[in-house]
Amino acid sequence: MDAGADPGGIGVLDLQGGVQEHLDHLRRVGVATRPVKRAADLAGLAGLIIPGGESTCLSRLLTIFGLDAAIRQAYDQGLKLWGTCAGAILLARESVGETPFLGLIDIAVSRNAFGSQLDSFNREALAPAVAREPIPLTFIRAPKIVRAGERVRVLLRLDDYIAAAEDDRILVTVFHPELTPSLAFHRYFARKCGLSVVGDDDAGLDPDWTPLSWTRFSSHA
Amino acid sequence: MAENRYLLNTQLAQMLKGGVIMDVVNVEQAQIAQEAGAVAVMALERVPADIRKQGGVARMSDPGLIKAIKEAVTIPVMAKARIGHFVEAQILQALKIDYIDESEVLTPADEECHIDKTRFEIPFVCGARNLGEALRRIAEGAAMIRTKGEAGTGNVVEAVRHMRTMNREIRQLTALPAEEIMSFAKVNGIPYELALDVKKLGRLPVVNFAAGGIATPADAALMMQLGCDGVFVGSGIFKSGDPARRARAIVKATAYFNDPEQLLEVSMDLGEPMAGLDVATMASEQRLAGRGW
């Protein structure tokens, strides 16, 4: 997992939040991956996932080593980005009632739009561009995408909001595919990054995945 | 509680990993904590250091105060209920906060039984001093664990003791042959099924934070290097000379816990830390970690 050791892989921003969960899913789709803690860790990556966590915390930490500027620069040079939940908030051009952070995709998000943890939920839905069968979705204190610009494609619309969208270089999901057995979105993003992936089934369900699979990447004393 | 609700609750804790949860007693402190990068706040009337000083019975905070804090921030809000006080927990659930801490910092309401957390939809975090205590709380429905440490002391020694104890017991368990697990579970008061999970995973099956006595960025990084998934800071921030600065420094130290150069930088010029207490000379009735079992 040395910087530069896996050129062309997908990094996971490793500052706070659901890092190990994404690392686990990326391994399952057969993509080289590494945690990204410093600007130098971005070298050679084809894609970067900004995971779920707390967006204020992530935004503060991103500025410490100028990682925000480094991400913008790598993006200008072709790095593909995927933000899940808090990551989507950080990538949005507009955040209702707040100052936007990276502002790289033309969407507006409304933070924490469903309420408290008691309003977190699971559901299933079909995102035809991503999987042929409905896939499980997990929403945890999720934001809503309330507007998508002209050059943004909606991948999944639910009720009164957009749950997944993309432009040519950025994918955003307000739910957490890394907290479900479905690998479909990780395969989709890997292909968007121009990487080859293993497996190709209808809903992308991995029978070997469990809710505790992330622990294999957690630190052990 | 439905199985998927429990899973959602453990998964919210996963999203807090690598973060700092800060005790706050008013709206202004909550905003300072959020601005500094806290992943959640613990809303309470008095921080543990003041509970210690003022004595008397410590209860759930006024829901009006918790509600005001909830309205002032977008990050998750936690609040404490007394050990065994399931009605305080019902009230906090009705208030729709994000997490309940069934906490030894408050005066226990029941010396025999903890709250049956499986009867709630809202997630609970509980303190533990060792593996058995952690797994008993998980069996009761806790979705997240923290070390007890010794709250309100600014002294990290007990949190270290509790984390080292948990790690040691997990290592022992993972090394045991199958036929010795039941006996290990019996001796340590561990639910058998959960002992099997821990043996397989080599860690707790839920997120485990450090708590109790963390006062400096170095303390936070120490607990992270010992294997915690994140940290709670109680009195350590708002009882110090420059809370906003210290809060930011502890957030950075928790994220870059393995990077001594970064730890050096964030540790400089922080102003006065909270005054500490020596746990070793403390009378046993002064120790909060002994509450609950």
Are B251 and A57 a contacting pair at CB < 8 A? yes
Decide if A97 touches B, using CB distance below 8 A: no
B168 contacts chain A (CB < 8 A): no
Q: What is the span of the domain harbouring residue A189?
A: 10-216
CATH number at residue A177: 3.40.50.880
**Is pLDDT larger for residue A25 or for residue B290?**
A25
Q: Which amino acid does the sequence have at B100?
A: I
B165 vs A: CB within 8 A: no
Residues (pLDDT < 50) of chain B are none
Distances (CA, A) of A43 to A27, A40, A120, B230, B258: 19, 6, 36, 28, 21
Per-residue burial over B264-285, b if 16 or more Cβ lie within 10 Å, else e, is eebeeebeebbebbebeeeeee
Residue type, A116: S
A49 is a domain residue: yes
Active site residue A25: no
| Single-letter amino acid code for the residue at B197 | D
Look at residue A118 and tell me if it is in a domain.
Answer: yes
Chain segment B42-67, per-residue pLDDT in tens: 999 999 989 988 988 999 999 999 99
Annotated active-site residue A166? The verdict is no
Instruction: Select from B112, B158, B149 the least CA-distant residue to B127.
Output: B149
pLDDT above 90 covers what percent of chain A?
89
pLDDT in tens, A1-12: 444 444 589 999
Position A221 confidence tier, pLDDT thresholds 50, 70, 90: very low
- Asked if pLDDT for residue A193 goes beyond 60, the answer is yes
Residue A151 lies inside a defined structural domain of this protein: yes
Indicate the average pLDDT of chain A: 93
Selected catalytic residue, list B17, B53, B80, B96: B80
Contact A141, A75 (CB under 8 A): no
First to last CA, chain A: 19
Answer whether residue A221 is part of any domain: no
Whole-number pLDDT of residue A220: 56
Q: Is residue A186 part of a domain?
A: yes
Residue in B with minimal Cα distance to A211: B7
Whole-model pTM: value is: 0.96
Res A130: pLDDT:
95
pLDDT of residue A199: 77
Residue in A53, A138, A176 closest to B19 by CB: A53
Domain for residue A4, yes or no? no
Q: How far from A101 is each of A90, A105, A143, A147, B2, CA to CA, in Å?
A: 5, 11, 15, 17, 37
Taking CB atoms and an 8 Å cutoff, what residues of chain A touch B97?
116
Whether residue A116 is predicted with pLDDT greater than 50 in this model: the reply is yes
Structural domain total, chain A: 1
pLDDT tens-digit series, residues A173-191: 999 999 999 999 999 999 9
Measured in angstroms, the CA of A79 and the nearest CA of chain B are apart by 24
Per-residue pLDDT at A64 exceeds 90: no
Inter-residue contact B150 to B213 (CB < 8 Å): yes
Chosen for mutation from B10, B17, B125 (greatest number of chain A CBs closer than 10 Å) is B17
pLDDT of residue A73: 97
A163 falls within a domain: yes
Residue A191 placed within a domain: yes
